[in-house]
Structure 1
Amino acid sequence: MLGVLRSDRKTGALLSGEFGTGKSMMVRRLLDSGDVEMPVIRLICSSALTGSQYGALAPLLAETAEEINDVVAIRVALSVVAHELTHAETQSQVLIIVEEAQSIDSASAFVLGQMVRSGRIKLLVLSNEEHQDPSSLEALMSVAQLTRIVLDPWTAEEIAEYCGSMVGSRVSSGAASLIHQATAGIQSLVQEFVELAVRRDLLVDVERTCVMRTSYLELDEHAVEHIRELGHRYSPQVLELLQMLSLAGPLTHPQLEALGLLKVLHRYPTALVRVQLDIVSISSDFFADGLRKSIPSGRRTSLYKKFSSVLGNAVGVGPEIAQWTLECGGTLSVDDLCQAASRALQNHDHALVLGLLSRTDTEQGTAVLPLRIQALIGLGQLHTAGTLLATIPTNQYADHTSLIENLRCVLTWQQPSPQSPIPDIHDDFQSVSYRQQGKSSVNDNVQKFDDCQVITRIRQARALYQSGKVSEALRFVEPATAECTFVAPACGYRLSLLVVAVRSLVASTRYDSAFELIGDFELSGSYEIFVCHGTLQVLRALVRVRQGQMKSAHEYLTDARPELSLIDPEGLGALCIALGLLTGTRDRGLEDIEDDTRVHREIRSFNDEGLPRGPASDAWWNEDQVEANLLRELLEPRHSDAAVVQLLNHTAAYGLIVEGALNFHVWTHTRAEALSRRSSSFFADLVAPEECTVLQRQILAIRAVESGSVEQMEDYAFTVYQAGDPVLALEMMTRIVDYWTSNNSQRNRGFAIRKIHEWLYQMRQEPWGIVAQSLGESELTARENEIVELVRQGLSNREIARTLTVSQRTVEGHLYRIFAKLGISQRTELNFGEE
């Protein structure tokens, strides 16, 4: 926009976008920045002036007593412009800002278009998409030859940038995605949402990154009033459409047509309304909630009468309709109440379920009580849910045995204790697989919920993974949550199975498949983003670490750790720490952890917030914590052999893959002979399952090193690099550097160092961890690296000396030492890493 206003070839801009997309905010920032030095005249249109000729030009024509026509209007308006220019001697143009131009009258549009031809004005026209007189605005656009700039709703990335500038800290991508989901990216709503989150202390700074403490914000009076004002900026027809959708929830095209609102939808499309197939709904839950609360009771009642008289019982009772009915003094049958509550549970609106149930006299009804328990489980109030479940007589739910059993399974799974073990369920999961195939199982008419089955499947999939049967684990998890209805939020089960699947794919070096699987994991709504996003980021980091993309992994870890500090459903916080140690990016929070208790307290703090815990979280946490503690000890300059041995003694309990990984860490990072011998002996007679590619390669790597043959080590390093395992290849090359150092072969060591540089260059990565350590022991100084870079640019010794303001002899001395360190004899060999 600034470029258009500064260009001699441009007459101005039409800044287009619907209400709330930030047009006025952008103009205000532009003017406040001081980048526009022209005098400014503001013209504000309104719907009241649409039928009044020259109404938009009233500020320019106020001083004239002549009868206004086009000629007079142009002359008088230009005289006002000339007067403004006399006070700005260095400027030759005036900027005229036309606000709410969707309501501009045709006469004003004609005059402004003609004024542009004088060359004395620039036009900046702000228009919403809801045009009352489209022909007037299009005529102005055509005559004035304005450049159209359309403001779309913000993306999650743009929201993160805005929030960062507003709160003064970077905002996690999970928080930005949650805000985008809640506001549909409408700038005005984003701003109010963030301000509300700050007012309620729900956008919290954790380790210099702001994250959301919850997925839902209870609106205060300020937020409701802001949304009311935004809604009333639309025409009455559009406002009625928005109000009806906020009160009734999603409606179909035929239903809107019956209500007389379908033509409004087609004529005035808005980003606040989402259309999927023929289902129409409000795209922003934040806006829908605020608009619903801002509607006066009389207006709410009149809309309800219209809705019920036109559609009657033709619409199922969803949570919004149920709430609307109760607010207007209506009643609901138990069946309708259950239908509404069940749909609210599917949307993870657990607080609404409790609110609906509290408005009825049937809280203790046989059909309602389980819904209340489910809502409590979704809110993480497990103790209250368990207490309520214990009050149910064993014979009260004779027809719902499966439901009660699943409720008990979920409670004991999410809140395990020695006194309440998870029931031992023997099930072949036939009902799950049959349902996926569109068939009916024997008990399909009774068994509606499958939590017990999926919980058992998760446990068995984990056991298969730990034992190294990763192919079976992958087959085991695939159909587990297809088209099933669960007592607990289904996204938690999907996430549990995803963790097993990703770890299994990583163990079999199928890194691209693992990353693709994470990308395919759909997050529906703010609740699922809040619960799952941090875990997904850690899984992405896990894959990137194995691929040697440490910079990318570090970005994911930086994003994930603050979110996991609030909610860590799968207990991957310890893995986050371990991966941080592996990447060599020991930031604040990764290096300042003093002991296991503090780790547990910092990463698992969400338990004190009453937020939901996820299935199997303790199991992942415990084994990953051993890895984090082991790496922390190994990376100490003088690590304790006894502490390492003590940690290794606990590894067998976590299965073959974990035991192999931890022993390989010790073999890789220690030069203590006793520890190295202990770890290598673990692999000596180990027969790794065929699908555990990582474990197989680790065994071969140890055997290559222990062979004492540098040729065998080099061959294996090249083999695994070509096979897509650059981390292991680089670790092998560091062994080769050590070998040639101990054998005092400068040239061969230089070759190995150059190969490490070449691979890092191809990977676009900086050295990390043990690779950085190995290079550091025989690496070039900062000045030597500078000279190498200049040589690679083609500069001669004399040119390098002139660039660095040193003598040519000094440059030659540096090159002598560089050649010696890298084991080379000519300048062209410094171009390692390039084709």
Structure 2
Amino acid sequence: MIGGEPLTGRDGELAVIRRAIGGNRSGVVIAGPAGVGKTWLAREALRCAATAGECTNWIVGTESARALPLGAFIGVLGNAMSDPLTNVRRVINSFVAQQRRRRVVLGIDDAHLLDGLSALVVHQLAQSGGVRLVVTLRTGGEEPDAVAALWKDRLLARLDLEPLSAPATHQMIEGIVGGPVDARSVTRFQKLTGGNALFLRQLVTDQVAAGRMRQVAGVWMWDGDVAVSPSLSDTVGRQMGQLSPRLALVVDTLSQCEPLSVDVLRDLVSRDDLESAESMGLINVERTSGGLMARLAHPLFGELRRASAGEMHLSLVRGQLAQRLGADPDADMQATVRRALLTLESDLEPAPELYLTSARHAMTLLDLDLADRFATAAARAGAPGADGVRAMNLLLLGRGEEAEAALREMTDRPDGHHWATVRAANLVWMLGRPVDASSVLVGLSALPETAAQVAERLAVEACVDAVSARCEIAVEKARSALASEALPDFHAMMAALAFIMATGARGDVGELGAVADEALKRATTSFQASHMRFWFGAVYGRACRLTGRIDEFVLTAEQLAQSARDVPGLAYANLALLLGNACLVRGHAAEAARLVHEALAGVQIHSITTGLKPASYFALAEAHAKLGQPDQAGDAVAAARSCVPPDFLFMQTALALADGWAMAAGGRLTEAVANVHEAARIARDRGQPTHELACIQAAAQWGDSSQVGRAHELAGALPLPLAAAVAAHAQALCDRDGEGLLTVSAQYRRIGDRAAAADAAAQAAIAFNEGQQRKRGLYAAAIASELADECGGLCTPALRTPAGLKLSGRQRDVVELVVAGLSNREIAEKLVMSVRTVEGHVYRACQRVGAQSRDELASIVRSGPGRPNG
């Protein structure tokens, strides 16, 4: 532990050091640039050695002691000084004497600063082979020959310490703040610090202290500007505060926009100043195919200057830079957005057309917050069309009330029909008011309409029908709208969303992939549709899950994640939910929970009230339930229930399934099954056969086979491998057929649902043992255990029931509640039975597994098939 904080992010390197100390060599040299954590690692290695009872010493090389013979070992010599060689021998003997009592581990920090005699002592100790050495060395400079000989003569192993990797950075940040950190914040810290452990520790500490980094929905997020403390300034580079005005201008210019062409920079600063900045290590210049490009030597240099330079000065710099960049054509959208932002934050006159163009570009690049700034500035400057772009952007931002106010005013214009349909879409998706949206659309249908206007209206009407669970009508309207070549990108996405939702619920997979591909193609190029790509991906993923196309969903999610770099703000929350659902359908519940927590943090920080919020809670409830965490699952269900719009009938199946999983995780299996049975009945009445199938599958995973007849009917009606698997699952459960359940496990695995496969294998293990087929039972239990481990550790009701424990009906409910920690009286009240009956069930269950108490019974049940008890 260094400075009271545990070592994180360097576990692999620490293991290498500990092996070097305990191996054939005399220790290790830890080499690397400043700030990568050499001292931190060396101290941790010595702490571990001291904990193991070894004698440790810490020696530091410094510039001031370098001028003195044996300066680093002055403390060892004390007052008894003599000729240099005698002093060297005395220092060596002092450590050898310690070695006679117990092993000595000596840490030498900053060995490149040792004087010659101190370096000789270290070299002689390494040659002696007794004392173990942990030596740190800064690369890029000169070190004494005796130090270089440590690894060149193979006396010590050499460990070249690289900057922290992204995973190590993530681990270190979480160690500092003491909790999960969202991936965007980690990426930002990694980019700013370059993996420098010293900079990272200081930067994280500063952001937390300044309130820029805070915990939201259980996740630490950094969404503000960089807080720069005096400590950070001292850590990164004191020369930042001592620059001449001309050198400061070089740094300030690059701090506002990098990288920059040297040709551009030379029009703003002198060549001599550029050369001086490069020689001082303030900037890096590299030759590229496009010529010489300059960037700051370290990203934090720009943050330090932005924090200390005056705003009037920086406004002037931005204006000069924007004008110079405007002299050349913009290379791409990013270049236009960059130039517009410099103009917006400068002392130049407003540029309305540039702002409006950049608002559209920022929407395409997924930065809706920046788009709102540009659109607002364009509207204030009188750019035609700016109000429409801003209203659309407000809708996509989830700021439904603001969008409603803006769109309501726009419906009286000549193009009011178009904006009325956008308003209806906002009422459906952002405000959860499909009935009000329907009223707007009915009013439009009573007016004369062109064919293009009809298509726009039908696209949004299809959304109203889809969320209202009128799937057949939604499909017809969406298909009609998509047939129009004049359909705007926004309306095309609306129609595609409705089509995917409705066809997924109906199990009609024929056109599913083609419609999804076309919609996602639009979403990569259109400012109206770009931000919807992750939202659409999640809806498509739900349809794929309902129809058993899990591999297709996972592939789509991966492709969408790769379609944009450094996804900002609200877009990242949608992406996190998409990736979380992709993990969940594969059975990786722990990773799913982590990602969905990040999505909910984004929901909270952006005050989102759209479907993203309840959808996140649905996924979170299922993930926690499959991890055997009933309290967290129940909390997620309660949160979901509080934010599902009452008229969103389409979400009711997902809510029922989330609730069922939470109940099952808490041992309330009878209630869980009854809950999804009712949801299945409703889905059947509404013409949502795949929703019904999902309910029957969940019940089967909890051990219920009562819907076997209906499962076979659905398998006959739906030409889907998933439907066949669910029917076979229910049948095998009904027949207590171990071989059949193993076959079902394989079917689920081919579909891609490892969690369901694990449950079926666990149920097979029980069926085999009931039939006295112990070897087959052990085999099935091993498969269940392997699948659960592949998923990162599942703890579902099926996996909690060990092979050999015969449970059914109320008996199983009682044991599940014992596992959940309820007393016999609490179980009796919950299940409406006498305490004596509960006691009887518990007693018989203990007898069957050889448990001596309720606690031992719970421990055995938790262990699951193929796992050791306890």
Q: Counterpart in 2 of 1:217? A: 224
CA shift in 2, pair 1:364/1:759, >3 Å = same
Partner of 2:176: 166
Q: What residue is the counterpart of 2:803 in the other structure?
A: 775
Classify the secondary structure of the residue corresponding to 2:437: coil
Counterpart check, 1:43 vs 2:71 = no
State the Cα deviation string for residues 76-128 of structure 1 (Å, max 9, x = none).
988887787798773899865449x7xx8xxx998887776555997955547
Q: 1:419 and 2:436 equivalent?
A: yes
**Residue 723 of structure 2 aligns to which amino acid in structure 1?**
L
- The equivalent of 2:772 in structure 1 is 747
User: Contact 1:227 / 1:290 at 8 angstroms: preserved in 2?
Assistant: yes
Structure 1 residues 9-24: aligned runs within 5 Å: 9=25, 13=29, 15-17=31-33, 21-23=36-38
2:780 partner amino acid: I
Q: How far is 1:460 from its partner? A: 0.9
Q: Does 1:625 align with 2:625?
A: no
Residue 660 (structure 1) aligned with residue 659 (structure 2): no
**Closer/same/farther in 2, CA of residues 163 and 269 from structure 1, 3 Å limit:** same
Q: CA deviation at 1:657?
A: 0.8
Q: Which amino acid is the alignment partner of residue 585 of structure 1? A: G
> Matches of 2:238 and 2:339 in 1, distance apart?
23
Most deviating of 754-763 and 289-298: 289-298
Give the Cα–Cα distance (whole angstroms) in 1 for the partners of residues 205 and 796 of structure 2: 40
Match of 1:90 in 2: 98
* Alpha carbons 1:505, 1:514 under 8 Å: kept: yes
Report the 3-state secondary structure (helix = DSSP H, G, I; strand = E; otherwise coil) of the residue aligned with 2:521.
coil
Residue 479 (structure 1) aligns with: 518
Residues 256-287 of structure 1 show CA distances to partners (whole Å, capped at 9, x for unaligned) of 68775998999999999999986877799887
Q: Within 1, Cα distance between the matches of 2:526 and 2:87?
A: 70
- What amino acid is the match of 1:564? L
Partner residue, 2:309:
295
Distance in 2 between the 1:59 and 1:343 partners?
63
Is residue 661 of structure 2 the alignment partner of residue 590 of structure 1? no
> Which of 473, 483, 490 is the aligned partner of 2:530?
490
For the residue of structure 1 that corresponds to 2:520, the secondary structure is coil
The answer to which of 308-317 and 661-670 deviates more is 308-317
Matched, 1:572 2:615: yes
The match for 2:79 is none
Alpha-carbon separation, structure 1, partners of 2:275 and 2:284 = 16
CA deviation after TM superposition for structure 1 residue 660, in Å: 1.3
The 1:537–1:9 alpha-carbon spacing in structure 2 relative to 1, beyond 3 Å, is same
Verify the 8 A CA contact 1:231 1:239 in the aligned structure 2: no
1:631-651 CA deviation, whole Å, 9 max, x = no partner? 455652553987565444322
Partner of 2:255: 246
For residue 656 of structure 1, report the CA deviation from its aligned partner. Answer: 1.4
How much has 1:247 moved relative to structure 2? Answer: 0.6
Compared CA separation, residues 508 and 59, structure 1 to 2 (3 A): farther
Q: Distance in 2 between matches of 1:180 and 1:405?
A: 43
Q: How far apart, in 2, do the equivalents of 1:275 and 1:621 lie?
A: 55
- Once residues 326 and 723 of structure 1 are traced to their aligned partners in structure 2, the CA distance between those partners, rounded to angstroms, is 54
Cα distance in structure 2, aligned partners of 1:58 and 1:501:
70
- Aligned-partner residue type, residue 579 of structure 1: E
- Residue 627 of structure 1 aligns with an amino acid whose one-letter code is L
Say whether the 8 Å CA contact 1:458–1:496 is kept in structure 2.
Answer: no
Q: What does residue 499 of structure 2 align with?
A: 460
Counterpart pick for 1:693 among 706, 716, 721: 721
Q: Contact 2:278–2:285 (CA<8 Å) still a contact in 1?
A: no
Shift of 1:211: 0.8
* Structure 1 residues 197 and 686, CA gap change in structure 2 (3 angstroms): same
Cα gap change, 1:620 to 1:137, in 2 (>3 Å): farther
Question: 2 CA distance for matches of 1:710 and 1:216?
Answer: 55
Q: 1:650 aligns with which of 669, 678, 682?
A: 682
What letter corresponds to residue 600 of structure 1 in structure 2?
R
Paired residue for 2:584, among 542, 554, 560? Answer: 542
Name the structure 2 match of 1:639. Answer: 671
Query: Which residue matches 1:821?
Result: none
How has the CA–CA distance of structure 1 residues 569 and 721 changed in structure 2, closer, same or farther, with 3 Å as cutoff?
A: closer
**Share of identical aligned residues, percent?**
13
CA distance in 2: counterparts of 1:117 and 1:364, whole angstroms: 75
Secondary structure of the structure 2 residue equivalent to 1:152: coil
Give the distance between the partners of 1:582 and 1:232, measured in 2 at CA. 52
Alignment check: 8 A CA contact 1:374 1:487 kept:
no
Change (3 A) 1:591 1:420: closer
Q: 1:273 to 1:361 in 2, by over 3 A?
A: farther
1:226 aligns with 2:242: no
Offset of residue 383 of structure 1: 1.9
**Which residue identity is paired with 1:542?**
L
Taking structure 1 as the reference length, the TM-score comes to: 0.66
User: What is the number of equivalent residue pairs in this alignment?
Assistant: 704
How far apart are 1:313 and its partner, in Å?
1.7
Following TM superposition, by how much is the alpha carbon of 1:767 offset from its aligned partner in structure 2, in angstroms?
7.4
CA apart distance, 1:662:
0.9
SS at match of 1:366: coil
User: Does the 8 Å CA contact 1:481/1:494 hold for their aligned counterparts?
Assistant: yes
3-state DSSP of counterpart to 2:29:
strand
Q: C-alpha separation between the residues in 2 aligned to 1:598 and 1:747? A: 45
- 2:165 is the counterpart of 1:155: yes
The 3 A distance-change label for structure 1 pair 452 and 655 is same
- Aligned match of 1:788: none
Change (3 A) 1:474 1:253: farther
Partners of 1:94 and 1:738 in 2: CA distance: 58
CA distance in 1, matches of 2:395, 2:715: 44
1:557 aligned onto 2:593: yes
SS at match of 2:777: helix
Q: Quickly say closer, same or farther: Cα 1:59–1:534, change in 2 above 3 A.
A: farther
Root mean square deviation, CA, Å: 5.7
Q: Cα offset for 1:388?
A: 3.4
Once residues 730 and 277 of structure 2 are traced to their aligned partners in structure 1, the CA distance between those partners, rounded to angstroms, is: 68
Compared with structure 1, are the counterparts of its residues 198 and 453 closer, same or farther at alpha carbon in structure 2 (3 Å cutoff)? same
**Equivalent residues in 2 for 1:93-132, closer than 5 Å:** 97-98=109-110, 124=135, 126-127=137-138
The separation in 1 between residues aligned to 2:67 and 2:138, in whole angstroms, is 19
Which amino acid in the other structure matches residue 455 of structure 1?
Answer: M
Work out the CA distance in 2 between the residues paired with 1:370 and 1:169. 42
* AA matched with 1:465: G
Offset at 1:502? Answer: 3.2
Change in 2 beyond 3 A, CA 1:585/1:393: closer
User: What amino acid is aligned across from residue 585 of structure 2 in structure 1?
Assistant: V
Mean CA deviation greater in 639-648 or 451-460: 639-648
Question: 2:247, 2:277 within 8 Å by CA — same for their partners in 1?
Answer: yes
| Structure 2, gaps ≥5 residues long | 1-13, 73-81, 128-132, 442-452, 460-482, 604-610, 808-846, 852-864
Q: Which moved more, 1:2-11 or 1:765-774?
A: 2-11
Structure 1 residues 391-418: Cα deviation after superposition (integer angstroms, max 9, x where no partner): 45855889xx979976874575333423
Report if aligned partners of 1:23, 1:151 keep a CA contact under 8 Å in 2.
yes
State the Cα distance separating 1:769 from its structure 2 match.
Answer: 2.0
The answer to whether the 8 Å contact 1:5/1:11 transfers is: yes
- Aligned mate of 1:331, from 346, 349, 355: 349
Report the Cα distance in structure 2 between the residues aligned to 1:124 and 1:591, rounded to whole angstroms. 53
- How far off is 1:158 after superposition? 1.8
